[in-house]
Amino acid sequence: MAQPSSKKTPSVYLYIPNIIGYFRIIINFIAFAVCYSNRVLFAILYFFSFFCDGLDGWFARKFNQASTFGAVLDMHCLFVGTSLPVLQTWLSFLDVAWVGYYKPLVSNVQVHPLPEGKTSHKDVKDTGNWLLKLYYGHRPFMAFCCVASEVLYIVLFLFADEKSTSLLNVCGNLLKQSPLTVFVFISTLVGWALKQVINVIQMKSAADACVVFDLKRGK
């Protein structure tokens, strides 16, 4: 008779990527607590939290610790991380809407169904959209869009005038800075714009998938 294995499986709550998620939430709350008193510290903490967003996925694949709880936790980390007070939520609306509408899949409930035959929102091999294929097929391009979006938020925050809440004024002020600052601003703006276009495409695909799911369920 086979003896039961003495090796214990770690709790999902203690998976390495999930611990990173807890850490990210704490960092974000600290960052927002000091965002007006110490903008530089806020920028450092905010970007470090964003960097950890890539680490949790790597650890999940490395140690086979992917989980539904981890996917939902990652979603909440993103919600916290994209709530920059000074920029208002509309700047990151497409990111939040996309993640909340389509990405957090709960397989046994299927609130947000994936298209038939797909196991991930990153599976775009059958799509005819070249931008989605470029985004998910070439990691450097994906990294550029994601990093550019976060850096743009930080740059706008750092250069925001406390006496004005106009985004156009902040952008105009940035264009008067050093050539390096202008280059960073323009580059990140381009990456941010590309990511928003991709988010719109994904939201449309998600809406189509939900409609197809409802039609099939009604038959």
* Cβ partners under 8 Å of residue 35, min gap 6: 42, 84, 85, 86, 157
Q: Which amino acid is at 141?
A: F
Reduce the DSSP state of residue 26 to 3 states and report it: helix
Q: Give the C-alpha separation, 214 to 219, whole Å.
A: 9
* Token digits of residue 96: 């939040």
Q: Give the C-alpha separation, 156 to 178, whole Å.
A: 15
Write down the domain spans for the chain.
123-218
**What b-and-e string marks burial along 64-86, b requiring 16 or more CB atoms within 10 Å of the CB?**
ebeeeebbebbeebbbbbbebeb
pLDDT of residue 87: 47
pLDDT of residue 180: 94
* Token digits of residue 95: 């990111």
What number is the average pLDDT over the span 55-71?
85
Question: Helices then strands (H, E): number in the chain?
Answer: 8, 0
Given pLDDT bands bounded at 50, 70 and 90, which one contains residue 159? confident
Closest by Cα among 196, 108, 110, 103 to 148: 196
* Token digits of residue 191: 């990456």
The percentage of the chain sitting over the pLDDT mark of 90, rounded to a whole number, equals: 17
CA atoms within 13 A on the CB side of 2: 3
pLDDT of residue 82: 60
- Its pTM stands at 0.67
Q: Is the pLDDT of residue 6 over 60?
A: no
What number is the average pLDDT over the span 25-40?
86
DSSP-derived letter for residue 114 is: P
Closest by Cα among 136, 135, 9 to 65: 9
Closest by Cα among 148, 150, 171 to 159: 171
